[in-house]
Amino acid sequence: MKIHSMGAGFALLAGLLAAPFAHAAGGAEVRTETLLKTERSWDGELYKAYPHGQPELTLVRITIPAKTSLPWHRHPSPNAAYVVSGELTVESRDGKHRKLLRAGDTLAEMAGSQHRGVTGDKPVELLVFYAGAAGVPLSVKTE
C-alpha cells in the first residue's frame, strides 16, 4: 500500500495505535493496556507545554535505597514514572500535595514545581519516561 501524503500516513499510524492489536504473526493474541493517559500531573496541574527544540525521549531505570529522601527538584519536561518495586511517597515542597506509590502504580510527574520522593523500609525501583528536548536536563536540583 502506497501512501501519497504525510497527512494520510499520520492518519493511518494514529488509527493503528489507537486500536488494540488483535493478533500478531502466528496468531498469538497481543494485549495492550494503557497504564497512564493524562493532561495533568499528580498534583492536578495541567501540563503547559513541551520544551522547545529537537524532541528527545529518555527512559531511565532509577533505584533508590531504603529510607532515602531525594533532594528537592523540578523537571523542565513532562515525564511519567512506573513503580517496579517498593513504596515511594512523593510530596510537593509547598506541603499541599503528598501521594504514596506502590509497585504497579504510575505517576504523571510534576513539571516545573518543586517536589521530592521519600522511600520506606525497602528500596524502590522506578522506570521513568521523559518527553523532553535535546539539551534540556531531565531534572534540576533546587536545594
| Residue that wins the pLDDT comparison between 23 and 54 | 54
| Mean pLDDT across 31-39 | 96
Is residue 116 within 8 A of residue 71, CB to CB? The reply is yes
43-80 pLDDT, tens digit each? 999 999 999 999 999 999 999 999 999 999 999 999 99
> Residue 62 phi/psi, 5° resolution?
-120, 130
Q: Are the C-beta atoms of 77 and 130 separated by less than 8 Å?
A: yes
Angle formed at CA 20 by CA 17 and CA 23, multiple of 5 degrees: 115
Whole-number Å distance between alpha carbons of 135 and 80: 19
Which superfamily, per CATH, for 36-141?
Jelly Rolls (2.60.120.10)
- How many Å apart are CA 31 and CA 113, to the nearest integer? 35
Domains of the chain by residue range: 36-141
